[in-house]
Structure 1
Amino acid sequence: MKKLLLLALILSSALLTAQKITGLVTEGLTNPLGIDTPQPHFSWKLESDKRNVMQSAYEIKVTTDEAGLKSKVLWTSGKVTSDQSLYVPYGGSALASGQRYYWQVRVWDNKGKASGWSTPAYWQMGLLKEADWKAQWISPGYEEDPLRACPLMRKEFSIGKKVKSATAYITAHGLYEAQINGKKIGDAYLTPGWTSYSKRLQYQVYDVTGMFKQGSNAIGVTLGNGWYRGLFSLGIRKDIYGSDISLLMQVNVEYTDGTTETLVSDNSWKSSTGSILSSEIYGGETIDARKEKTGWALPGYNTAGWVGVKTQSFPKNTLIATYNEPITKHETFTPVKILTTPKGEQVIDFGQNLVGWVVVKVNGKAGDTFSISHSEVLDKEGNFYTESLRGAKAQDTYILKGGATETFEPHFTWHGFRYIKIEGYPGTLKPENFTAVVLYSDMEMTGSFTSSNELINQLQHNIEWGLRGNFLDVPTDCPQRDERLGWTGDAQVFFRTASFLRGVNNFFTKWMKDVQADQYPDGAVPYVVPNTLMDWDKGSAGWGDVATIIPWDMYVAYGDKRILENQYGSMKAWVGFIQSQSTNDLWNKGNHFGDWLFYSVNDDRDGSSAITNKYFITQCFYAHSVQLLINAAQVLGKTDDVATYTTLLGRVKNAFLKEYITPNGSTVSDTQTSYVLALQFDMLPENLRAQAAERLVANIRRYNNHLTTGFLGTPYLCHVLSRFGHANVAYDLLLQKTYPSWLYPVTKGATTIWERWDGIKTDGTFQTPDMNSYNHYAYGAIGDWMYRVMVGIDVEGDGVGYKKIQIKPLPGGDFTHASADYETPYGKVASGWKIEGNTLTLTAVVPANTTAVVCVPAAAINGITEGGKAISTSKDVEVLGVENKYVKVKVGSGSYVFTAPYQK
C-alpha cells in the first residue's frame, strides 16, 4: 500500500511539473533596473515537451523581498482564468522610486494541471519624480582646449558601514564611462545612448553593491563629446544639442543597519583632463598615454593640479529611464591576413565588414606614435580605400608612454571597417596584437535561417551583419562615413526582417518615442530621428510613413497593444500632414526621395524605364498609412476614426486610379516599383490586379530576370510576385547572380548588405564615393520574404505576437531544403522543408500556449503523413481542407513531421 501511495505521489509530482515556466521579463527586459512605467507589464513562456499544451489560468505574486515570495506578498493577481502570458499589468499599490521588486508566476494548463512556481525574477523602479534627483549637473571647472580633451571627474568619500545595496543613476550631456575604485561600472558603451536630448534624455541604472568597500572609496567618470556636442550630422556640425559637457550621477546606498546615504555629483567634485586628447564619432580618437593619470579613479589619488567643477542648472524633467538594451561588446575577430598593398601600405584584413573598434597591444618607447585608419574595401588595385568615408577621418592615433606592453582601445567613437591601415607602428605587425571588437545594442538573437544554397546562406549572413553594424542604439543608415543617422525610410523597410533576427521590441519602442518627440507640429516626420537636420528636411513619402508602418508591424510581431496606444497620436498626425499636402485627395506636393537608389538605366528598353513617378509613390503610401491608421483604430476601439478614415481611404484610392492608371490598366510609370506598390497596397480593383501582376512579370523578363527597384519597391517585390502566383519569378530574382540583384554583391565578396546594387561595379571600380556604403541594411529587407514566405513562418489571422501561427512554406528555385526558427514571445517556432526525389518533408515546431495552421504543399490529402501515419488518423492534427495547392491542417503546440508527394 505504501509503495502504491509513493508511486502515486511521484506520478502526481511529475504531472504537476510537466510544464516549465521560463523567459520571465518585465517591460520586455530581463531583470531590468530603472523602470519608470507606473504599472509594469509581465510576460513569460510556457515550455512543455507534450503536444497541444495551452495555458488556462495564471497566478502572479509580487513582493519587495525575494524571501517574501513565500510569505509576505505585496500583490497577487490571484488565480486568473486566461491564456494570456504576455503583457499582464501589475495591479497592486503604487510602486516606489528606486525600490526593487520580485515576482514569480505559475500557470494551469488546458487539462487543469498546475505548474510549479517559476524561478523568481525582479525589476527595480527608476527615479519616478524630478525631486528624487538629489544630484546636481556638473561640468569641468577648467577652460577647455580647442580639441576638447575628454574630461575626467572624480569624487572620494568614506564608507564606515557594511553596504546592503547600492544603486547608481548616471547620465550625461555627451557620453560617459564611470568607475568605482578603478573598476568600470556596467558593461555598456556609448552611454547614455542617443535620443532627442532636448526632450528625452535617458539615464542608466546600475547595481554597484559589490563595488564598494569599507573605508575610502572613489568614483571616477570620463566624458566624451558624442552625439550631444561632437562634430556630427550632415555638414559635420558641432554643438547640435549644446556646447557643454556635463555629468549627472547619484548613488543611493543602503546599509545593513537600515540607514541610507546618497552620494551625488555636486560642487565638491574635482576635474581635469587625461590621456584622451580628442574623441569624435567621425574623426576617431587620439590617446597620449604619457598624459595618463594613473590611479585617478582610485582612493588616495593625489589631486594636485586638478580643479573644481561648475554646477549647472540644466533641467531634470526631461530625464527618462532607459527603455532599450545598451550597446555592449560582442564578437571579436583576429586578422585573417596581414598584407602590404601595391602602394606599400601596411593593411590588416579581419575578413568581415564589422562595426566597433580595434584593441592594440604594442611595445615601444615614449613618444612613439602610430595611427589606425579604417576602411570597408580595398580598391581595384588592392590599395586602401577611404574616399567613400567622405568627411569622416575614422582614424585612431596612439602615443606611447614607453616601457612595458601597452594596450590601446577607443572609448567614445566607433568605426565601420573590414580593413585597417597601420602607420608608424613600432615593430612588426603580428596577428596576436590586433583584435577587432564588435559593438551593437545587446538585443537577443531570435531567428536563424539556412538553405541548400550557399550563396543565399551568405546573403542571410550579410543581412544579419547589416543589422549588427547599424543597430547601435538607433537604427542608422550606415556606420562608417560622416552620416550614421537614424534615417526613417531605411528603418521602416527593414523592420520586419529585423524583428525576425533580433528582439528589437525595446529598441524600436525607444526609437519610436523619439520619432514622436521630433515630429513637427504640423505632423511632418523628419528624414532622420533623432533629428539633426534642417527644418525643411521632413515629410517624404516612405520615410515619414515610419510613423504608421513600424507601430503596426510591431503590434503584429510582438502583440503589445501599447505601441499603438502610445503612437496613435503620432500616426494620426502624420496622416493629417499628408492631408494638408493633398489637393482633391492627391498627395502631389513636397520633396520626396521616391524609390531611392533604384536601378538606373541609360537606355529605354522597349519603352520602359526604371524611374517611377514620385507622386505615384506618395499616393500609394498615403493609402497605406491611412489603412494602417484604420487598423490601429479598430484595435483601439476608436469607431469614429475607423469610419472617418475608411471614407478617406476610398477617396484616396479613387483619386489614384483617375490620376495614375491608364484605361488599359497600365501604370503611368510602367515600372517594377509602380506595379509592386499598387499591388502591395491594394490600390487596384480586383479585376485589374492579375493583369498588373502580369505586367510586372513582363517588365522583369524584359530586364532578363533582374530587379530594377529601389528602397521602397524592393521590400515588397517578391511578396507581390508570390502573392499573385508568380513564385517562380520571385525565385528567379532571388537567385540572380548578375547585377542588379541580391546575390551580385555576394559574388563580389560582400559580407554585409550594400547601399547600392553596384557598390563595386562589374569592372572592379567603385560607384560614386559621395554615397556608396558597404554596410547599409535596406536591401536586406528581402529577408522578410525568405522567412515569412520561402520558409513560411508568419502570424495567422488576428493572432498577433504569434499567438496564432501560420506555417506555409513555398518551395521553389533549385533549393532542396530551407529551414528557419524564430523565438516568438511565446517560445520557439520552426519550419523546415526538404525535397528528396518526389517526396517533400516538412518539419514544424509550435510553442506551447499557441496554435498553428500548417499548410503542406500538396494537391490532395491522400498520401500525406504526420509522424509516419496518415494525417486523417492523427488525433493531434485537424484537417481543414485543400486550398491553392496546399493541404491546411490545424495543430497545437509540439513537434511535427509531415511528408507529402511533391512535384515541382
Structure 2
Amino acid sequence: MRNKQIHWPLLCLITFLLLTCPITLFAKASVSTSGLLVEYLSNPIGVDNPNPMLSWKLKSLDKNRYGQKQTAYRILVASEESLLHRHIGDYWDTGWINSGQSQQHIYQGKPLQSDRSYYWKVKVKDENGNEADWSPSNHWHMGLLQQSDWKAEWIGSETLFDPAQEDCNIVDPWFRKSFQLSKKPQQAFLHVASVGFHDLFVNGKKVSTDVMATAVTDHTKRARYVSYDIGPYLQKGVNVIGIWLGTGWSIHGPYVGKHRPNTPIVIAQLACYAHRHPGAFDQPFFRLSTDSSWKYKHSPNKLLGTWDTHKMGGELWDANEEDPDWNTSKYKDTDWKKAVQYNPKLKLSWQQVEGNSVLDEIRPISISMINDSSYLIDMGVNFAGWTSLNLEGKPGQRANIYFSEREGEKMTFGIRSGYIFDKTGKGTFTNRFNYSSGRWITIEGLTKKPDLNDIKGWLVRTNYTDHASFSCSDSLHNWIYNTVKWTYENLSLGGFIVDCPQRERLGYGGDAHATCETGMLNYGTAAFYRKWMEDWRDVAGTESIVGDMYDASFARKAVMGGRALHKGILPHTAPTYMGGGGPAWGGIVVSLPWYYYQQYNDVRILKENYDLIKNWMEFLDSHTKDGLLQRFGGKWDFLGDWLWPNATEEGMNNDSPQNLCFNNLYRIYNLKTAIEIARVIGQDQQVELWEQQVKQYTEAINEAYFDTKTVKYADGAMGNTTMALLADVVPQDYKENIWEQLEREIIVQRKGHIHVGITGGAMLFKLLRDHNRNDLIYSMTSKDTYPSWGYMKANNATTIWEMWEKDLPGHSLLHSSFLYPGAWYMDGVAGIKVHKPGYEEFVIEPPAATSTHLTWVKAHFESPYGTIRSNWKRTAGQLAMEIEVPVNTNAILKLKTADQIVIPVDGKHIQLIREDKKERIYQLASGSYNF
C-alpha cells in the first residue's frame, strides 16, 4: 500500500478558515418555541372552524442576549403523531417561510375532517438564521363541521317548566345508556350539546373537571357542544354513559319558543375507533347517539327559584333519592322511563371557550349560633360560586341554607338552597347546577353546630388564565387592583360577563365598557370575548325584554311593542335579551371588537362583526333627525350614563338635555371607532360615508348642545365633558378650555372625586388613559371618602359595589359597575401600552413623578408574544427601572426629561429616537434591562 502525502498548505488554509470564519451550519439557535395555541386554546377538542388559527410564542435560551427574534418559520400538521415525529406534515407543510409572524396563522392545508385529531408542531429560525429545535408536538380535535354530521336526536324528560310555581317544578333528570363494545377503542370522542347544564359520566366516573357545561348561549338560535375524549373510560364489554342535566338557562324566559320544549334537553354522539390515529377513510367500529332508547329518572337535585331576576335561587338536594351506582353497568334501570325525543330548531356549534372550573377554595372565618337549630357562617369574602356543607339534622327533615351579601340580613336577592336528610340524619350539601353569591350563610334546621372544617366555598368561573400582576407602594391601590380582579372573576361564569351574579346574571353591553379592557389587560380572554361577540350577533334584530320574561310572545319577534324592528336593533344584554340600557349598551358591538383587535391583532373579530356594526349604525341613523340622535324605544331604552353619585335622587331615566347630549356624543365616538374598523378591513367606501356623517353630526351637536359663552356641553356634567373630548367634537379653539373645565370639576368642584357612573366612568378613564392624565385618575382612585373605591374599602367591602352608595336597598355589592381602574393599573401606572396591535411593538411609559405619590411599582403582563415586565422605583427623585421585552418584539420607552435615569444608548439594542424639553423616547430590542 502506498502512503498518502499530506498537503500541508491546504490543511493550513482549512484550519485558518475554521478558526476565523463563523460556523453557522451547526450553530445553536438562541430561542425555543412554546405556548402553542389553536383558536387561543391549548390542545382543544371539538374545533368547528375549518381553518383554525395557530399561534406560538418564543422563549429566550440566553437571558443575556438582546434583539432576539424570529426570521422564519415552518409549520407541520399531520394526521398521525408518528408522522410528526418523522417531520412529515401530510396535511400541511408550509416549508420555510421568511417571516417574523408567530401569531394569527390561519390553517391553509388540506381540508380538515369532522371528528378527527390533528397533530402539529413548529420550528423557527432566530435573528441569525439559526434553526431552533422543533416545538413539542401539540394537537387539536375537530368537532362536527356540518349540521348534517349530527345523526343523534335531542332527548329530555316529559316534565315541562311551570312558571307559576315559586320554585322550579323540574327535577334535574338522569339519562343513561348501556351498550356493548367488542374491544376497547383506541380513540373515542363524545360530543354533547345541552340546553341547560350537563355533567357527563362513563362507567361511573365523571368525565372532565369542568362544571356547569355548556357556556351560556342564546337558545332561540343555537346550542353549544362540548367534546370529550372518553377512550380512557371505555372498556371491552358492557359500558354505560350517564348524562345528568341541570335546568339552568333552559327555562330562561326570552328563550321560550314553540320549536323548543321549556325543559332541559341534550343531544350526544359517540364514535369509537380501533386505531389511535384513524386515517381519512377509517370508519368507527362503533357509534352511539341519543334517541328514545335512552332512559331517564329523576335525580336528587332540583332548581330552587325560577331562573329570573331576584329568583335565581339555588338547589334543593334530597339525600333520600341518592343512588351512587346510577351510572354504572351493575345498576338495573328496568323501572326507568324512556327518554322523550324532541326536535328543536337549534344550530349546533362548538363551545369555543374554556369551560367553568371550581377555583380558589374559601374557608369560613367564623360560625356563630343564632338559636338551637340555626347558625350563621361568615365566609370572610363576598363571592359567587359553590359551597360544600357537612350537616346534621333530623332524618327526613329539610335544612334551609340562605346566602347574603349584607351582614345582618338573612338572605339577599332570593339566593337560597336546601338539603333533605336521609334516615342517617347526616349528609353533605354541594352545588351541582346552580351557584350562590354572598358572604354570610345562614343554615336553619340542624341538630348540631357545624365545625369550621365542615364548611368550604369555591369561586366558580370560566377557566381563562391569569395574565397579569400588579403591586405598588400604596396599600389602597393594591386593594383596588386586587378587588377589581376578584370581582371580575366572580362575574364571568359561562363565557360572558354578567352585571351581577345574584340578582340578574345578564350580559349588559353598557357594563362591558367598564369590564372588557380590564379583562383583556389582566387575563387570557381572547377565546372568551370572541365567543361573547358571537352571542351579540345571535341576539341582533331583537329589542330588549323588560317586564314579564315568561311572556313567550316577546322572544325574537320581528315586531315588538307595536313597532316594526330594524335589523340593526340590539337588546341591551347578550345572550340574555333582558334589561334596560341605551346607545352605549348596543354600542359595545363596535367598541369591544376594536379593543380586542388592539390586544390580539386578530382581524377576524372585525370582519366577523362588520355587518353587525354596520347594521347598528344604520339603526341609530334611522332615529336621527337634523343630524341628532333622537330618543327611541320605551322607558328603559335610552339610558345615558348610569349610577353616578346620587343618581337615584337626581333621576337617571329622563329626557334631559344632559342625557340626550351624552348619547349623541357617544354615537359619534362609536361611529369614529367604526371608521377605524372599516379602514383596517378595507371598507373604503363605508369609511368615506361615515366620515361625512361624523362631520354632519359634529356640527349638529355643537350647534345644539355647545354653549360657547359658558364653554360647556349641555349642563357641563363630567360625563358630557368627557364624551365631548373622547368623541373629539370640541372646536379646536375651545379644546384647552374644555380640558381645563374637566380638570376643575374633578380637582376643585368634586375635591378630587369621581362624579360619573358605569358608562360615563368607563369613558372618563378611557379618555384620561389615552391622554396620560394619570394625575386625574390617581386623584379619583386615592380617595377614601364618598364616592370612591377607597370608600368601599373603608366600609369593609370585599368586592366592588354596584353603586357608589352602600346602604341603598336592592343594589348589589358584587357588580360590574366600576371595574375600569383594572385597565389603568396596567397601561397607566405600570405604563404598558399597546403600540402596534397585538403587542408586536408596545410602549412602556412610567407615570410622571408629579402625577402620583407612588414610589414603586412591580407589574407584568402576559402579551401574545410573552411576558412584558415593567418595574419602576423612585428614590430621592431618581428613577430606576427593570424592563423585560419579549422575544420577537420591540418596546418604545418614553421617559420624562426631568427623570434622573441613565439609559446607555448603544445604537443597536437601545436607540434614542427623539428628545426634546419634555421627554426622551427610546427603542428597546427584546431582552431584559436594568436602568
Q: Do the structures match in fold with TM over 0.5?
A: yes
Residue from 240, 245, 262 that aligns with 1:223: 245
**How far has the Cα of 1:243 moved from its partner?**
1.2
Structure-2 separation of matches of 1:303 and 1:240:
30
Aligned match of 2:912: 879
Alignment correspondent of 1:430: 451
Q: 1:343 to 1:46 in 2, by over 3 A?
A: same
- Report whether the alignment pairs 1:299 with 2:321: no
* Aligned residue number for residue 630 of structure 2: 588
In the alignment, which residue of structure 2 is the partner of 1:698? Answer: 744
Match of 1:126 among 134, 143, 154: 143
Residue 632 of structure 1: aligned partner: 677
Among residues 102, 105, 123, which one is paired with 1:88 in the alignment? 105
Q: Distance in 1 between matches of 2:858 and 2:199?
A: 42
Q: Who is 2:550 aligned against? A: none
Query: How many angstroms apart in 1 are the aligned matches of 2:322 and 2:766?
Result: 57
Contact 2:880 2:901 in 1 (8 A): no
Query: CA–CA distance in 2 between the matches of 1:602 and 1:320?
Result: 42
1:686 CA displacement: 2.6
Is the contact between residue 220 and residue 257 of structure 2 (CA under 8 Å) also seen in structure 1?
A: no
Aligned to 2:482: 461
1:136 is aligned to 2:136:
no
Matching of residues 655-666 of structure 1 within 5 Å: 655-664=700-709, 665-666=711-712
Secondary structure of the residue aligned to 2:271 is strand
What is the alpha-carbon distance in structure 1 between the residues aligned to residue 865 and residue 181 of structure 2?
46
State the match for 1:246 in structure 2: 265
- Whether the 8 Å CA contact 2:869–2:885 is kept in 1: the answer is yes
Q: Is the 8 A contact 1:240 1:532 kept in 2?
A: no
1:62 and 2:77 aligned = yes
Q: What letter is aligned with 1:670?
A: G
Question: Match for residue 398 of structure 2?
Answer: 369
**Which residue in 2 is equivalent to 1:109?**
126
- Give the equivalent residue in structure 2 for 1:620: 665
Alignment match, 1:648: 693
Which has the higher mean CA deviation after the structures are superposed, 60-69 or 294-303? 294-303
Q: Give the corresponding residue for 1:37.
A: 49
Instruction: Give the aligned residue type for 1:597.
Output: L
Gaps of 5+ in 1: 761-765, 899-904
Q: How far, CA to CA, are the matches of 1:726 and 1:102 in structure 2?
A: 48
TM-aligned CA deviation for residue 882 of structure 1 = 2.5
Query: What is the CA-CA distance between 1:541 and the residue it aligns to?
Result: 1.5
Partners of 1:581 and 1:369 lie apart in 2 by 56
Does 2:194 correspond to 1:172? yes
TM-superposition CA deviations, 1:57-81 (whole Å, max 9, x none): 1100010111111334212011111
After TM superposition, give the deviation of residue 113 of structure 1 in Å. 1.3
2:883 maps to 844
1:11-56 alpha-carbon deviations (Å, 9 max, x no partner):
9799524211001001111100011111111100011133111211
1:683 is aligned to 2:729: yes
Structure 2 residue 317 is the aligned partner of structure 1 residue 276: no
* Counterpart secondary structure, 2:133: coil
1:47 corresponding residue in structure 2: 59
Give per-residue Cα distances to partners, 1:658-679, cap 9 Å, x unaligned.
Answer: 1111123222211111111111
Once the two structures are superposed, residues 130-152 of structure 1 have per-residue CA deviations (whole angstroms, 9 ceiling, x without a partner) of 22212111122578897211111
Residue of structure 1 aligned with 2:583, choices 526, 537, 541 = 541
- Whole-angstrom CA distance in 2 between matches of 1:602 and 1:160: 69
Counterparts in 2 of 1:240 and 1:193: CA distance versus 1, 3 Å: farther
In structure 1, give the amino acid aligned to 2:287. Answer: T
What's 2:38 paired with?
Answer: 26
Judge conservation of contact 1:25–1:31 (CA < 8 Å) in 2.
yes
Question: Is residue 804 from structure 1 mapped to residue 841 from structure 2 by the alignment?
Answer: yes
What's the CA shift for 1:205? 0.2
Amino acid at match of 2:47: I
1:778 counterpart SS class: coil
Distance, in Å, in 2 between the alignment partners of 1:694 and 1:335 is: 49
Counterpart of 1:748?
795
Amino acid in the other structure paired with 1:106: K
Decide whether aligned partners of structure 1 residues 241 and 631 sit closer, same or farther in structure 2, where only a CA change above 3 A counts. farther
Report if the CA contact (8 A) 1:594-1:612 is conserved.
Answer: no
Give the direction of change, closer, same or farther, for the CA distance of 1:694–1:171 in structure 2 (3 Å limit). Answer: same
Q: Deviations over 1:836-870 (max 9, x none)?
A: 1121112211111111101123337xx6324xxxx
Q: Which residue of 2 aligns with 1:186?
A: 208
Deviation at 1:294, TM superposition (A): 3.4
Q: What are the residue-to-residue correspondences of 1:333-352 with 2, within 5 Å?
A: 333-340=362-369, 346-352=375-381
Partner of 1:211: 233
Give the aligned partner of residue 902 of structure 1: none
* 3-state DSSP of counterpart to 1:820: strand
Write out aligned runs for 1:661-810 (5 A).
661-664=706-709, 665-700=711-746, 701-721=748-768, 727-758=774-805, 760=806, 766-769=807-810, 772-796=811-835, 799-810=836-847
Q: Which of 210, 220, 236 pairs up with 1:198?
A: 220
| Maintained 8 Å contact 1:178/1:219 | yes
Deviating more after overlay: 511-520 vs 129-138: 129-138
Pair 13,578 (structure 1): closer, same or farther in 2 beyond 3 Å: same
3-state SS of the aligned residue for 2:586?
coil
Instruction: Return the offset for 1:278.
Output: 3.7
Q: Which of 569, 579, 587 does residue 621 from structure 2 map onto?
A: 579
Q: Is the 8 A contact 2:175 2:243 kept in 1?
A: yes
Q: Deviations over 1:131-174 (max 9, x none)?
A: 22121111225788972111111111122212101101101222
Residue 527 of structure 1 corresponds to which residue in structure 2? Answer: 572
2:356 paired with 1:327 = yes
Aligned counterparts, 1:367-406, within 5 A: 367-378=396-407, 383-387=408-412, 389=413, 393-403=414-424, 406=427
Letter in 1 for 2:786: Y
Residue type of the partner of 2:156? Answer: S
2 CA distance for matches of 1:733 and 1:572?
A: 36
Counterpart pick for 1:152 among 163, 171, 174 = 174
Cα gap change, 1:800 to 1:33, in 2 (>3 Å): same
CA distance in 1: counterparts of 2:829 and 2:78, whole angstroms: 47
Cα distance in 2, alignment partners of residues 69 and 371 from structure 1: 57
CA contact (8 A) 1:41 1:89 kept: yes
The residue type equivalent to 2:89 in the other structure is V
2:51 aligns to what SS in structure 1?
A: coil
Do the aligned residues in 2 keep the contact of 1:188 with 1:326 (CA within 8 Å)? Answer: yes
From 61, 86, 89, the counterpart of 1:73: 89
Q: Displacement of 1:304 after TM fit? A: 3.2
- After superposition, the Cα gap between the structure-2 partners of 1:385 and 1:451, relative to the gap in structure 1 and judged at 3 Å, is farther
Question: Partner amino acid for 2:821?
Answer: I
Q: SS at 1:196's partner residue?
A: coil
2:75/2:121 contact within 8 Å kept: yes
Partner of 2:559: none
Q: 1:423 to 1:611 in 2, by over 3 A?
A: farther
In structure 2, the residue corresponding to 1:221 is in which secondary structure?
strand
Change (3 A) 1:691 1:242: farther
Q: 1:763 — aligned with what?
A: none
TM-score normalized with structure 2 length? 0.88
Match of 2:318 in 1: 288
Cα offset, 1:727, TM superposition: 4.1
SS at match of 1:25: strand
**Contact map agreement 2:706 2:714 (CA 8 A) in 1:** yes
- Count of residue correspondences: 863
Query: 1:319 Cα deviation (Å)?
Result: 0.3
| Gap change, CA 1:79 and 1:422, over 3 Å in 2 | same
Alpha-carbon distance, 1:530 to partner = 1.2
Cα RMSD of the aligned pairs, angstroms, is 2.9
